[in-house]
Structure 1
C-alpha cells in the first residue's frame, strides 16, 4: 500500500484520517514493524496490522482520536497475550497519528517519494507532540535522538520470458506482491490489453542483451513458445549469477538442456543452479493458474532467503535509536 497517497486521498475526501503504524515489536507478533493502516473518520480502513483483537483495539483508539480532532500522536504499548488473549505472545508498540487539511503540504513530498518507486527512509522526531518527518540524510548525526522509518516498496525484479498461458497466469499471480515484472515476448500482439501496475511488457528482440542488462538481483523465468529460444535465454542467464533461474518443463527437458549446456561449456555449478521443473515440489497439477501459484510461492521463498542474508561487512554508519521518547500512551 502506498500509505502516503492513501492518507492524502482520505484527508482530501473526508477531511481527516489516522495512520496506525507498528512502531516496535518484541517477540512474536501478527505483523512486522512498519506495517501500517490508514483509517477514515467513519472507521473504514486500508491496510492491516495483523487483524484480530490488536487491530480492533487500535481502530477504536484511532476513531476516538479522529473524533477529538487533530492532536498529538499516541503510542500504545501492548502485550498481546495477557492484554488481548492473542497467542502470539509478543509485545508491540503501536504509533497512532491524526491528520487533516493542515498536513497536506507536509504530506506532498512523501507522496512524491512513494510515486518514484522503491523504498526510502525518513528521520522522525517529535515537535509539540506530533511526528515530524524529514528525508534521511546521507550522514548520521550522533546528536539525533529520533527514529527512522522505511516507506515505499522494495520490489524484487523479475524477468518473465514468454506470454503464453502460464506466463499470463504468473504475471497476474505476481501482481499484488512486491515484485517488479519485466515481461518479454518476441511475438506481435502477445500481451493482453491491460497489465498489472507492477508489470511492463517488452517486445523481445535481443535475448542476450536483455540478460546482460538485467539487474543482478533479478529472478529469471523462462517459458517461451520455442525450445531453442528457451535454451538460448536460459544459457545466457546461467552465465550470470542470478539468485534464481527457472525454466518451465519436465525432468526430461532438463536432461536434454543440461547436455546442451555442457556442450556450451557452462560450469557444472551453474547448470546445477537451474530450477527445472519450476514451482514447489509436490504440486503436480499442470493448470496454468496452479503452476503460477506454485512458482509465485517459490519466488517468495527466494526473496525471503535473499532478504535474510547478512549485509556485507563494512564500517557501519551511525544508527539512531528506534525508541520514541515523549509519545503519550
Structure 2
C-alpha cells in the first residue's frame, strides 16, 4: 500500500487523517511490525493491521482523534487476550498519528518517494505527544519503526516505508497470465510481463506491472535483475523451452518455472539435456508449477496456485538470506 499517496489524498479532501502503525509485536498477533493503515474522519480506511477487535478499536480511536483536527502522536500497547478478548495471545504496540493540512507538503514529497523508491526511511523528532516534520534518510533503517533517545533526552522516530519486492519475469499474456497478474497485484512482486503479441495484453494493468511487447521474448532475460523469478507460460512450447534454457544457463535467477504437465517436464528435460544443459542445472527447473493440491483447470484457480508457490518461494529465500547475508551472491534456483 502506498501510505503517503493515501495520506496526501486525504489531507487534500478531508483536511486531516490518521496514520496507524503496528510498531512492535510480541507473541502471536494478526500482523507484523510495520503494518499500516490510513484512517479518515468518517472511519473509512486504507490498509489493514490484521482485522478483528484490535483493528476495529484502533479505527474507532483513530477516527475520533482525526475529527479533533489537531496534530498528535500516541503510542499504545495492548494485550490481545486480556484487553480485547482475542485468542491470539500476543501483545501489540500501535501508534496513532493525526496529520493535518500542515503536513500536506511533506506528505506530497513522501508520496513521490513511494513512486520512485521501493523502500525509504524517514526520521522525525518526537516531543510532548507530537511529531515534528519528517526528513528523508540517505540510508533506510533496518526496522520499520524505532524510537531512539540521545544523551540530551531528545527522542527521534525512525521509520521504514515501502515493501521489498521480488522481480518477476512473466512470459505469456494468455488466460493464465492475465489471471496471475491480477493474483499478484497486491503481493510484493514487481512484474515485467512479456509477450510478442500486442493484442494479448489488456489495456489497464496493476501498478506493479510493466507490459513489454517484443519479437524475441527470451532475449528479455538479459535485462532481468539477479535473483528475479522467471515464469514461462507462452503460447509456444518451443518458446517456453528457449526461455527455460536461457534462464537455467544464466544461473542468476531465484526461481525458474514453466507451466505444463509431467509429460511436458519429461520432454523438456530430454530436449534441454540434448542442448548440453546438465542434470544439476535441470533440477532447478520447476514444472509443473503451482500448488499441487489445486486440481481445477480454471485460469484463476491455476493462477492462485502459482501465486501461492511464488510467495512461499520468495519468503523462503528471504529467510535464507537473513540467516546467510552472503546468500544473495549465491545461486538459489529451486531451493
Fold shared per TM-score above 0.5? yes
Q: What displacement does 1:201 show?
A: 1.3
CA contact (8 A) 1:211 1:237 kept: yes
Q: What displacement does 1:117 show?
A: 4.0
Equivalent of residue 296 in structure 2, options 282, 285, 297: 285
Q: What displacement does 1:142 show?
A: 10
Q: Deviations over 1:29-59 (max 9, x none)?
A: 1111111111111211111111111112212
CA contact (8 A) 1:72 1:128 kept: no
CA contact (8 A) 2:229 2:255 kept: yes
Match of 1:269 in 2: 280
Per the alignment, in what secondary structure is the counterpart of residue 308 of structure 1?
Answer: helix
Match of 2:261 in 1: 250
- Check if 1:191 corresponds to 2:201: yes
Q: CA RMSD in A?
A: 2.1
The whole-number CA distance in structure 2 between the counterparts of 1:199 and 1:206 is: 19
CA contact (8 A) 2:218 2:239 kept: no
Match of 1:52 in 2: 52
Of 152-161 and 272-281, more deviation after overlay is shown by 152-161
Match of 1:210 in 2: 220
Match of 2:333 in 1: none
Q: Deviations over 1:70-117 (max 9, x none)?
A: 133100111111111111111111000111111112222211101214
Match of 2:135 in 1: 134
Q: So what's the TM-score if we normalise by structure 1?
A: 0.89
Match of 2:144 in 1: none
Equivalent of residue 318 in structure 2, options 296, 307, 325: 307
How do 1:222-241 and structure 2 match up within 5 A? 222-239=232-249, 240-241=251-252
Match of 1:201 in 2: 211
* Structure 2: gaps (5+ residues): 142-147, 327-335
CA contact (8 A) 2:80 2:89 kept: yes
Q: What displacement does 1:13 show?
A: 0.5
Per the alignment, in what secondary structure is the counterpart of residue 121 of structure 1?
Answer: strand
Q: What displacement does 1:253 show?
A: 0.8
CA contact (8 A) 1:117 1:153 kept: no
Of 192-201 and 80-89, more deviation after overlay is shown by 192-201
Q: Which has the higher contact order (CA 8 A, sep 6+)?
A: 1
Match of 1:28 in 2: 28
